[in-house]
């Protein structure tokens, strides 16, 4: 059979590794190097390509590139080779992009490769190929783990809401029965035990309320809008702490002219309502005092403070809050109040820090974005 002019020229001037800039490295480089002509016929195939795909150099050079291309992709490959034959280039070659593609081995198994294409002189194209099957597998496992973790978090948040809601009713029932017992005559020891039981039941009720608030903070969609913090604290949020202020004879001072915040009314109530409650409930002073004020406003961020005249925060609490900042908070040991506040601030792109008030006492600094004026 007579040879075509192109085939004769190819055999008279065979392509060598030196001609494509590799020389001795062609045999030693760890990446597979494959060179094909404009019809897709393989003309160079280094040892790394042989090890990766399972074809010897002699076998590979008797075939075209379709031997390493899965059947479902061959039509697209043929179209790309026609474009290269007609124009001498192609969009993937011009872009110099690193492609992530499936490839076929001699034994019929598929791997995932990283491919970089380059145009050579005389109508040849060169591909540098790296096996990334393991990397892709690990990435898929990590993505799956993240998805499972996200689903687990969502399930936990829903579960915490259901548990908190369902347990409130038996707690109310226990409290009602304790009131009945309290009205009956009994010994001093019985009355003392009864008071301890009622205190424990009250603590349980507070924890359940905190659990429900924490759940709401994670389940409700966030839509931020300008909110007047002063109006929220004096209005809808007051119901959260007013009874505690009255029971303790505590004083709450709210600075006038606080800047509008980019927030939601509900999350602001969760933050400042819990901080105010903490400043009163955990304050042994006979005359508890809590103050809400603006410390600074800069670059669209307001730093507000909730101060009290109590003993301040123990070092271990400060360390736990510091670890929670800039993360998705879990639970602060010892109660839900601070956890809810940190979580709510985080949801609005803010943060919470603990410090000391001038002259002693606790200070919680809340950083939130201000609304455009």
Instruction: Determine the pLDDT at residue 132.
Output: 94
Instruction: Determine the pLDDT at residue 281.
Output: 85
Regarding pTM above 0.95, the answer is: no
Strand order in the sheet with 125-131: 42-45, 32-36, 125-131, 110-119, 98-104
Domain 223-373 has CATH 3.40.50.300: no
Q: Is the dihedral of CA 215, 218, 221, 223 positive or negative?
A: positive
Three-state SS letters, 316-363: HHHHHHHHHCCCCCCCCCCCCHHHHHHHHHHHCCCEEEEEECCCCCEE
The span from the CA of 330 to the CA of 324, in Å, is 8
Maximum CA pair distance of the chain?
120
Considering only the top CATH level, what class is 5-131?
alpha beta
Give, as one character, the DSSP assignment of residue 254: E
List the chain pLDDT tens, one digit each, 373 residues: 333 334 433 334 467 777 666 777 788 889 999 999 888 899 999 999 999 999 999 999 999 999 999 999 988 888 888 888 877 777 667 666 788 889 999 999 999 999 988 888 778 888 899 999 999 999 988 888 888 777 656 655 655 555 555 566 666 667 776 776 666 666 677 777 677 777 666 666 666 665 666 566 555 566 889 999 999 999 888 887 888 899 899 999 999 999 999 998 888 988 998 899 888 988 888 999 999 999 999 999 999 999 999 888 776 666 666 655 434 443 333 345 677 788 788 888 899 888 888 878 889 999 999 998 7
Q: Which fold has domain 137-219?
A: Helix Hairpins (1.10.287)
* 361: region left, alpha or beta (phi > 0 left; psi from -120 to 50 alpha): left
Instruction: Determine the pLDDT at residue 315.
Output: 67
Instruction: Determine the pLDDT at residue 244.
Output: 87
φ and ψ of 250, to 5 deg? -90, 160
Residue 203 has a CB neighbour count (10 Å cut-off) of: 11
The span from the CA of 339 to the CA of 347, in Å, is 12
Domain ranges of the chain: 5-131, 137-219, 223-373
CA proximity to 103, closest of 128, 129, 70: 70
Instruction: Determine the pLDDT at residue 99.
Output: 84
The helix (run of H) or strand (run of E) holding residue 171 is helix 133-183
């Amino acid at each position: 059979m007579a040879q075509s002019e192109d085939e004769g020229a190819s055999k008279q001037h065979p392509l060598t590794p030196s001609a494509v800039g590799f020389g001795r490295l062609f045999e030693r480089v760890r990446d597979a190097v494959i060179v094909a002509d404009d019809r897709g016929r393989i003309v160079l195939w280094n040892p790394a390509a042989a090890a990766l795909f399972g074809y010897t150099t002699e076998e590979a050079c008797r075939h075209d590139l379709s031997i390493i291309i899965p059947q479902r992709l061959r039509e697209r490959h043929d179209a790309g080779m026609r474009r290269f034959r007609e124009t001498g280039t192609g969009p993937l070659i011009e872009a110099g992009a690193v492609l992530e593609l499936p490839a076929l081995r001699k034994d019929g198994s598929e791997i995932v490769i990283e491919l970089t294409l380059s145009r050579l002189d005389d109508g040849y194209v060169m591909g540098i190929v790296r096996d990334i099957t393991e990397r892709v597998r690990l990435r898929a496992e990590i993505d799956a783990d993240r998805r499972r973790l996200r689903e687990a978090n969502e399930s936990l948040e829903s579960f915490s809401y259901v548990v908190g809601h369902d347990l409130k009713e038996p707690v109310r029932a226990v409290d009602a029965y304790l009131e009945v017992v309290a009205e009956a005559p009994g010994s001093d020891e019985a009355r003392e035990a009864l008071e301890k039981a009622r205190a424990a039941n009250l603590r349980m009720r507070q924890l359940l309320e905190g659990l429900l608030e924490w759940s709401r903070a994670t389940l409700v969609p966030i839509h931020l809008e300008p909110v007047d913090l002063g109006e929220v604290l004096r209005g809808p949020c007051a119901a959260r702490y007013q009874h505690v202020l009255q029971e303790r004879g505590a004083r709450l001072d709210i600075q006038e002219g606080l800047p509008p915040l980019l927030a939601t009314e509900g999350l602001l109530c969760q933050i400042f309502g819990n901080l105010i409650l903490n400043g009163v409930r955990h304050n042994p002073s006979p005359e508890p005092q809590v103050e809400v004020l603006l410390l600074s406003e800069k670059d669209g961020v307001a730093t507000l403070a909730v101060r009290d005249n109590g003993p301040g925060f123990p070092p271990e609490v400060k360390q736990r809050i510091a670890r929670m900042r800039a993360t998705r908070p879990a639970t602060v040991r010892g109660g839900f109040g601070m956890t809810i506040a940190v979580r709510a601030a985080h949801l609005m792109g803010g943060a919470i820090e603990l410090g000391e008030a001038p002259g002693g006492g606790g200070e919680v600094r809340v950083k939130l974005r201000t609304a455009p004026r």
